[in-house]
Amino acid sequence: VPSDFAKKLSTECLVMQNHRYGISPEKFQKNKSLCSFFKILTTSLDEDDKVYVSTVQACRYPVTAVQWHPEARQYTMLQEEGVQ
């Protein structure tokens, strides 16, 4: 891993997060249907610095859901490097 990229990994959010509506971990845990079906894998901060659930995984099924765009940052980084 290039050292400049490693530094960015430790200091910056390198994923695209442009959703306006999320659920807080507290509300997630209070919803019995959600917390019995999914477990929280990650949380993130929105533009107002409020914590929301950003990645969940089903407890008994091979399902993972994200509230961010794992593909977008890679595309942007490739464009910045001039890769088409």
* Euclidean distance between CA atoms 45 and 31, whole angstroms: 21
Q: Taking the CB of residue 25, how many other CB atoms lie within 10 A of it?
A: 14
- Letter for the amino acid at 39? K
Q: Find the catalytic residue in 15, 19, 69, 73.
A: 69
Active site residue 69: yes
DSSP string, 25-52: HHHHHH-HHHHHHEEEEEEEE-TTS-EE
Please list the active-site residues. Answer: 69
